[in-house]
């Protein structure tokens, strides 16, 4: 067996964290949009409703900016990275046999084809009617 660096692709934890942050920002925008709709349809004091209507659009604008920033942060982060980039000591054992397997299979197939041809020719040449 030969040891070599493990370059298998794995999920990027930095991207997972950025996706969680983006999802939280999306949820905040959705919550504020629902709050605006609820405030407009709920019966109550007019002064209270006016205060909510003056506060909620500003918060919604801020939440949308944060959502867009989270999306821009997410874009350049790759979805998968090599395992040895996350853990430099990650190694994989590679069998030396795998390097010789294709030539061995080709030799075996050639041997079987030659043997089959020889048996067919022997049967043909031993036939007295030919």
Each residue of 55-64: pLDDT tens digit? 889 999 999 9
**Mean pLDDT (the chain, rounded):** 88
Please report the pLDDT score of residue 127 as a whole number: 74
The residue among 19 and 87 whose pLDDT is bigger is 19
Closest CA to 36 of 13, 18, 63, 9: 63
The b/e string for 22-32 (b: 16+ C-beta within 10 A; e otherwise) is beebbebbeeb
pLDDT tier at 54, thresholds 50, 70, 90: confident
Please report the pLDDT score of residue 98 as a whole number: 64
Closest CA to 22 of 79, 66, 78: 66
- Asked if the model's pLDDT at residue 114 lies above 70, the reply is yes
pLDDT tier at 50, thresholds 50, 70, 90: confident
Please report the pLDDT score of residue 130 as a whole number: 63
**For the chain, the helix, strand and coil percentages under 3-state DSSP, each to the nearest 5:** 70, 10, 20
Please report the pLDDT score of residue 94 as a whole number: 77
Percent of the chain with pLDDT over 70: 98
122: left (phi over 0), alpha (psi -120 to 50) or beta: alpha
The DSSP bridge pattern shows strands 91-94 and 80-82 to be: unpaired
- Asked if the model's pLDDT at residue 76 lies above 90, the reply is yes
The DSSP bridge pattern shows strands 2-5 and 91-94 to be: antiparallel
């Amino acid at each position: 067996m030969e040891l070599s660096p493990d370059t298998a692709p794995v999920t990027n934890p930095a991207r997972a964290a950025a996706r969680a942050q983006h999802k939280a920002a999306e949820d905040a925008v959705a919550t504020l949009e629902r709050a605006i709709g609820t405030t407009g349809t709920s019966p109550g004091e007019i002064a209270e409703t006016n205060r909510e209507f003056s506060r909620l659009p500003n918060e919604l604008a801020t939440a949308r900016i944060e959502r867009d920033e989270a999306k821009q942060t997410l874009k350049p982060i790759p979805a998968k990275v090599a395992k040895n980039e996350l853990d430099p000591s990650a190694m994989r054992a590679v069998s030396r046999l795998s390097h010789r397997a294709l030539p061995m299979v080709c030799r075996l197939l050639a041997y079987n084809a030659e043997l089959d041809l020889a048996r067919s020719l022997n049967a043909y040449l031993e036939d007295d009617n030919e």
